[in-house]
Each structure stands twice: as C-alpha cells, then as structure tokens.
Amino acid sequence: MPPEWSSCPPELLLVVDRGSGLPLRAQVEHGLRDAIRTGRVRVGERLPSSRELARTLGISRGLVQECYAQLQAEGYLVTRPGSATRVAAGAAAPPAATQRRHTASRLVADFRWGVPDLAAFPVQDWLRATREAARAMPSAMFDYGDPRGSRTLREVLAGYLGRVRAATTDPEDIVVCNGYAQGLGLALHVLAGSGVRTVAFEDPGSPATVRGTAAAAGLHTVAVPVDEHGIDVHALAATDARAVVVTPAHQWPTGVALAPERRLALIEWARNRDAFIIEDDYDAEFRYDREPVGALQGLAPDRVLSLGTVSKSLAPALRIGWMICPPHLTEALAEHKNRSDRGTPTLDQIALARMIETGRFDRHLRRMRAAYATRRTALLAALAEHAPGLPVTGLAAGFHAVTHLPPGVDELQVVTTARERSVGIYGMSTCRASDATTPAQLVLGFGNVGERAIVEGIAAIGPLLTGRP
C-alpha cells in the first residue's frame, strides 16, 4: 500500500555558503544532485515545495524553481500537475555489490523453535487496546515514569499471574522489562552485586544465552544435567553456584516438567545455600496432555525471581516482559533497569494491560492452544507415516517436539541434508553445553509452521530421520 502523504512538506538538509564565491543556484543544484546520487533522497521521495525550500535556505523562490527545472531536465526529478516534485526512477546510483541484498532460498517448512504463529498476532485487538490506552492516558503518563513500569500493568499482571500461574506477588515487586534477555541480564547484574559469583544453568538448555549474559555481569557459569524429572538438584548442590536459571513449567528443550520432589529440593537448596532461583516461565501458557503447573515463585517468593514475557503468547516484536522480584531485590533491579534504558514504552504497557483485563488476551490464548494442538497432531501423524517408529517426546506442552534419531544417524548431516531439501530443522547439540551431537536428537518447532507445511516438510525428510537415504 503506498504511503498517505501528509500535507506538511518534507524536510531536506541543504547548506548554502554565501561566502564561497559560488553562485547560490550552482550550490543548490549540486546539493540536490549529490543527495539523489548518494541515495540520501531515495527514488519516489518528495522534495520540499519551492516555496518551503526557499524559505528554509533564505533564497528566492524563483531560484529554487530554476534549480528544480534544471534537475528535471537532467532526469533527476519528475513533476506532475497537482503533485509534489519527486525523485525520478533511475536517478540514484545503483547500490554497491557489497550492499546488495540476497534473498534466502525459500523453505518448504522451517521448524525453527521458540517462534509462535506470527500470522496469528491479534492485530485488531492490539490496535483497539492501543487506541483505548492512548485515549485514557493522562498527559503526565507520557513522561518517563516509574522505572518498574506502568502501575496499571503491574497491578493487572499481579492479578493475572496470581490467577493463572499461582504466583504470589505485589505490584510493588514487579519490574517490567524488554523481554526475557533483558530481564535475565538485570537479574544477573544485581545478583553479582550482592555477592553471587557463579550461576548454574540446565543442560540441555540455553548455554549460549546464559553464558553470554553471565559473562557480561562478571559471573562464572556451570552446567547442571537435566533428566526426566527436571534439573538434578544433587548435581547442583555439588557446585559452588549461588544462582540457577531453570525452566520448571516446561523445561527447554526437553519439555519435561520439574517433578514436585525436585521443586521442593530446589527451594531447600536455595535456602540452605543463601542462593536464588531465576525462573524462566517458558511456554507455561500452552499445555495439552497434563494438568497445569504453577509457577515456582509461588512456593518461595523470597528466593525465586520469576521471568515472564509475551514473546510466545503474542509476539517477540512487542518486547514486553516482567520480573516478579524477591522484595529485597526489587529496588536494586528497578534502579538497574532505570540506568539501562529509562523504562519500557508506557503506551505498549497500557495496551497490554487492556488486552488482559478485557479478556482479549485469554481469548487469544484459547485460540492458539487449539491451533497448536492441531499442528501437534499433524506433526505426529506425519512422523508416524514418513518416519515410523521414531520416538517423539516433549509434546505435553508448548509448540516444539524432540525427535530421537536412531543410533548411527549423524545429527549434523541430517540437518545439512534437510536444508538441501528446503526443510529447516535444528539439532539438540546447540542446546548442550558441550555441543555434543550424541545422542542425536532434533528439536522441531511447529508454532510458526502451518499444517500443510508440516506434512510436506516431514514427507521431504522422513527417510533422513530413520537413517534411510
């Protein structure tokens, strides 16, 4: 859709030097040619009216009209009756070869993990919530505000998280952040300032994210194994860590839920060690074959810092997350957030609050649970048909599955060959602290893949998954 131009004339930076000895007309013509040739003014863009440019430069309108006429004659500009003067097609120099964009080959299916259905983002609901928020916001709220975030959103989140995640919190102890990555960075920096020197993380898990964020905070890291019951608390206790990053509701990437006895053991470890648990409430909204699992934070609010976002429930582009903080860490976290970026955009926060309190957020989640459940069924059916006997786990919640390849099948080779067949798949090795490719496993995300693409993609690579050519 072409842009709807405002009646306000566009601005253009040109400089004339009355002491240079060069005629003003020559300076203006040269400045305009240079702006077009270098791409500073792109093809199709409007130029200021002759009256406006003359006013800006302090020269006569007739001089500007002569410049425009000359450049039009040279093919740089185009003018139509009743329309603004624009840069003509082909007037700008072609981009350098190093700047040309190369379009990636189209994939039949891309089973990239961690991405929700982007096409299903509730655009109309979000626009409505944004309009409502903008109309209701008093002018004072357009200032920087509380570094913890909008009071309105924090109150709504406190009620919502208590209702659906069994969290125990007060709006005063919620800090709004720009997604999980920022929340983790803030948490680790504050913990480092309180004396923590080593942070543990789940293996498999997100080693690159935790290691990079911890290094920026000056912390050491240690990997702790995960089994069918979640993180191994005995192995954790054998380390010198005083903080651990976990995904208890739906472990990333194995998909297991932290067993009840492990939950209690982990909290006991934190209290005995004077340690902290950073809970990534990953994929908690989407479950299919199991009872709801409450947030770990509700069991130990003084020891658990819980991170949540709308990156999976709505879209990553919103960059809205939150931290439920142990009360004695809230002030330090808010102060560090304030130093980092002066706060998360307030209008978006109020819009999210409107989405939640009006029920539109819950409605969207119900719709997406049904959609992901249908895609999960399609994935299992396609695997059963084209890769029979292949074990699949981690499907009780979320929108990814773990497929276990037969012995002797090379994980990296399968990933490479699948790409040659225009199917994007991803190995478990990138989720392991050691980068080990055995046991060979794939993490298949189906959140942003339609049913038809799922079927076509698995059909194209089915033989690879079972070790056949």
Q: What is the pLDDT of residues 438-461, one digit of tens each?
A: 999 999 999 999 999 999 999 999
Which residues of 361-415 form beta strands (DSSP E)? Answer: 392-393, 400-404
β pairing state of 109-110 and 423-424: parallel
Q: What is the pLDDT of residues 236-290, one digit of tens each?
A: 999 999 999 999 999 999 999 999 999 999 999 999 999 999 999 876 777 776 6
Cis peptide before 3 (omega within 30 of 0): no
β pairing state of 276-280 and 243-246: parallel
Q: Does domain 109-116+363-465 have CATH number 3.90.1150.10?
A: yes
For the domain made up of 122-360, the CATH class stated in words is alpha beta
- Can you give the pLDDT of all 469 residues of the chain as single tens digits? 445 555 666 888 888 898 888 899 999 999 999 999 888 888 888 899 889 999 999 999 999 999 999 989 888 999 877 778 899 987 776 655 444 444 446 899 999 999 999 999 999 999 999 999 999 999 999 999 999 999 999 999 999 999 999 999 999 999 999 999 999 999 999 999 999 999 999 999 999 999 999 999 999 999 999 999 999 999 999 999 999 999 999 999 999 999 999 999 999 999 999 999 999 987 677 777 667 788 999 999 999 999 999 999 999 999 999 999 999 999 999 999 999 999 999 999 999 999 999 999 999 999 999 999 999 999 999 999 999 999 999 988 889 999 999 999 999 999 999 999 999 999 999 999 999 999 999 999 999 999 999 999 999 999 999 887 6
Residue 94 confidence (pLDDT) = 61
- Torsional class of 444: left (φ above 0), alpha (ψ -120 to 50), beta (otherwise): beta
β pairing state of 77-78 and 86-87: antiparallel
Q: Are 186 and 323 in contact (CB under 8 A)?
A: yes
| For the chain, domain boundaries | 24-98, 109-116+363-465, 122-360
> Which distant-in-sequence residues (6+ apart) come within 8 Å of 380 by Cβ?
392, 395, 401
Please name which of 112, 443, 117 lies closest in space to residue 312, comparing C-alpha atoms. 117
Whether 109-116+363-465 shares its CATH topology with 122-360 is answered: no
Which of the four CATH numbers 3.20.20.150, 2.40.110.10, 1.10.287.130, 1.10.10.10 does domain 24-98 have?
1.10.10.10
Tokens 């007037």 -> residue: 91
Give the SS3 label for residue 464: helix
Q: What sign has the CA pseudo-torsion 329, 334, 339, 341? A: positive
- DSSP character for 228? T
Q: What is the pLDDT of residues 50-103, one digit of tens each?
A: 899 999 999 999 999 999 999 898 889 998 777 788 999 877 766 554 444 444
Burial 326-337 (b: 16+ CB within 10 A, else e): beebbbbbbebb
Q: Which residues pair with 455 in a beta bridge?
A: none
